[in-house]
Structure 1
């Protein structure tokens, strides 16, 4: 299972109205660390799909959402629950560190 892409058009339905916790990966094509962390997110998405949805939002293609959620550095990850941001993680990290950051949502 891979993280699916969301856009400004699908964000409300996929993220804000989701019954599960949703991790949004704010990324861009030109961002090396974003590309490096992508397979790690795909692994987490597969291993924890019953508890956590993972979606990707390209900040270059969706600047309105990047501004709304004050994305100033990428990769940036925000966990949403019931339409609210409940956790923010900035920067690429190895899988154990990301899983530790997300423990409240995946365990």
Structure 2
């Protein structure tokens, strides 16, 4: 998982990768810590296929506002530069795995 460093915009990250998962989190958020841990563990399974980026909403408030993030954790799944799925709240490792596998198998957002 890559910690967002503000060197590229979210649009650049999404455009330059086929599949991207963006986690919006806060350090004080316990569900965020759990999801972050799960995504870190899953990164090896999806290393060559999905780019995972974590954005601290306390450090990058403007980005969170631009992306309409209203709660943490929020996860956005992008495929071919388009938003495929956005969800907020705690997700188990199994749920994250299912969503990441679905992201890889979808051919277009209309599916």
- TM-score class normalised by the smaller sequence: 0.7 to 0.9
Does the C-alpha gap of structure 1 residues 14 and 39 become closer, same or farther in structure 2, counting only changes over 3 Å? farther
Aligned to 1:20: 18
Deviates more, 1:42-51 or 1:70-79: 42-51
Instruction: Give the 4+ runs in structure 1 shifted more than 3 A.
Output: none
What is the distance in 1 between the residues matched to 2:92 and 2:8? 29
Does the C-alpha gap of structure 1 residues 24 and 32 become closer, same or farther in structure 2, counting only changes over 3 Å? same
Task: Report the CA distance between 1:49 and its aligned residue.
Answer: 1.1
Partner secondary structure for residue 44 of structure 2: helix
Aligned residues: 105
Could you say what the CA RMSD is over the residues aligned between the two structures, in angstroms?
Answer: 1.9
**Normalised TM-score (structure 2):** 0.82
Task: Report the CA distance between 1:14 and its aligned residue.
Answer: 5.6
Structure 1 residues without counterparts, runs of 5 or longer:
none
Partner secondary structure for residue 19 of structure 1: coil
Does the C-alpha gap of structure 1 residues 90 and 68 become closer, same or farther in structure 2, counting only changes over 3 Å? same
Structure 2 residues without counterparts, runs of 5 or longer:
106-111
**Normalised TM-score (structure 1):** 0.84
Task: Report the CA distance between 1:16 and its aligned residue.
Answer: 2.6
Aligned to 1:31: 29
